[in-house]
Amino acid sequence: MDRDVFEPEHEELRRTVRRWVQDEVAPEHPRFRTEHVIDRQVWRRAGELGLLGLAVPEAYGGGGIDDFRFNAVVNEELCRQGLALGSAFQIHSDVVAPYLLELTTDEQRQRWLPGFCTGETLCAIAMTEPGAGSDLAALRTSARRDGDDWVLDGAKTFITNGTTADLVVVAARTTPDSRNRGISLFVVEKGMAGFQQDRQLEKIGQPEADTAELFFDGVRLPAGNLLGDVDGGWAAMMQRLPQERLSTAISNVAHAGRAVEQTLEHVRTREAFGSPIGSFQHNKFLLAELVTELEVTQVYVDRCLALHVEGRLDATGAAKAKYWSADVQNRVIDACVQLHGGYGYMAEYDVARAWADARVSRIWAGSNEIMKELIGRSLGL
């Protein structure tokens, strides 16, 4: 399908990224899944290709490109290879980047952004807690002043890039009993005393994604590791969540699209009763439905991408894109598994891995139920 949202320079980048993924990432992908981590050389190579700091000003080693469509291209091509690859890079480049660009002082940018762009400084963001889940205002991780420093205590869970991250943006309560009004953001760096990031979580899918619990036991943070204003964390997070949810939607559609491509290849060559199974009316109609549903979803997500580039994507639009694309992704890939028959349940097949990898899309970046709540509020309900 033609996609008017992209221009020739975006497609030029796409060719570069696809070639890199095919030649360098794909051959090592099975090893990443076995070892439960994406090799740091992949990050450094992405840095060499200029893929990590697209929006970072050139003065700090980035591309200086204020156009999220370039990020979308990188995201799509990584997700065609594996959803976990896309999510790991998305957290670094799409989610953490705005915090380090927009809430930092020049001294902080000089300290953190060059390594961010080269892949030497891998980033994560820590919002979710074991007892809070999607209710960010209920977080219990706390930071208290001690002289010029802050002392951080608490725990976070389900953190992508958690054990390997060199820099983690952490949301913590700085004013007790104040819900969303008393939250601040801090940067915690690998190796700080009291910071533990060594508990990797076992998941039913995306084994190559480094997902972890993080623990903070009296971590002493200098004043220069506060991001933005004291008690300004809630507003900062709410302003930046739409980009995260848009990025997730972009991933969902690209991931499902690759599963459909592989399924079409399968039904054209797999025979039953003397005919390709794709020629059976039921299968033909089902694939017609899947392709149509995916293309309609792609049009909406592309529209949201265009609005975001123009600075006009609101939280409601992003919530719609996130929840709908996740539902479509899961329906589509489940049908692709069925069309593969018994082979679709074999772990050696891409479609089986895609099915397991996709399930979390309806949970992360705000569960689909939370997205519907946000949409409902926009209707005055």
Residue 348 tokens, joined: 């050696």
CA 122 to CA 127: how far, in whole Å?
Answer: 17
Return the pLDDT at 180. 84
Q: Which amino acid is at 375?
A: I
Distances in whole angstroms, Cα of residue 243 to Cα of each of 46, 64, 71, 226, 350? 21, 18, 11, 22, 28
Q: pLDDT, tens digit, for every residue of 207-224?
A: 999 999 999 999 999 999
Rounded Cα gap, residues 206 and 37, in angstroms: 10
Dig out the tokens for 248 from the structure. Answer: 């997730």
189 in catalytic set: no
Structure tokens, 336: 């692709």
What whole-number distance in Å separates Cα of residue 294 and Cα of residue 257? 7
Q: Are 257 and 294 in contact (CB under 8 A)?
A: yes
State both tokens at 187.
């940067």
Which helix (DSSP H) or strand (DSSP E) does residue 153 occupy? Answer: strand 149-160
- Structure tokens belonging to residue 250: 């972009």
**Percent of all residues in the chain with a pLDDT value above 70, rounded to a whole number:** 99
Distances (CA, A) of 278 to 28, 179, 259, 268, 338: 32, 55, 15, 6, 13
**Can you give the pLDDT at residue 262?**
98
Domains of the chain, CATH where assigned: 8-121 (1.10.540.10), 125-229 (2.40.110.10), 235-378 (1.20.140.10)
Is 80 exceeded by the pLDDT of residue 134? no
- The band of 133, judged by pLDDT with boundaries at 50, 70 and 90, is low
Q: Check pLDDT > 90 for residue 236.
A: yes
Residues 367 and 326: their CA atoms lie apart, in Å, by 10
pLDDT digits (tens, 9 = 90+) for 17-64: 999 999 999 999 999 999 999 999 999 999 999 999 999 999 999 999
247 and 95 in contact (C-beta within 8 Å)?
A: yes
Token output for 103? 């809430």
Q: What pLDDT, on the 0 to 100 scale, is given for residue 328?
A: 98
The radius of gyration of the chain from alpha carbons, rounded to an integer in Å, stands at: 21
Mean pLDDT score, 100-109: 98
- The pLDDT, as a whole number, for residue 289 is 98
What's the half-sphere exposure (Cβ side, CA atoms, 13 Å) at 173? 19
Percent of the chain with pLDDT over 90: 95
- The CA distances from residue 147 to 151, 215, 220, 222, in Å, are 10, 23, 11, 10
Q: Which of 244, 293, 369, 373 is catalytic?
A: 244
Instruction: Return the pLDDT at 199.
Output: 84
Q: Which of 169-173, 178-182, 306-310, 354-358 has the lowest mean pLDDT?
A: 178-182
Distance CA 108, CA 242 (A): 24
For residue 349 the two structure tokens come to 């097949």
pLDDT, averaged across the chain: 96
Q: Is residue 333 predicted with pLDDT exceeding 70?
A: yes
| Residue 151 CB contacts under 8 Å (≥ 6 apart), including other chains | 143, 144, 145, 218, 219, 220, 221
Q: What is the dihedral of CA 136, 137, 142, 143, to 10 degrees?
A: 100
Q: Is the pLDDT of residue 135 over 80?
A: no
Q: Which two tokens stand for residue 136?
A: 């960010």
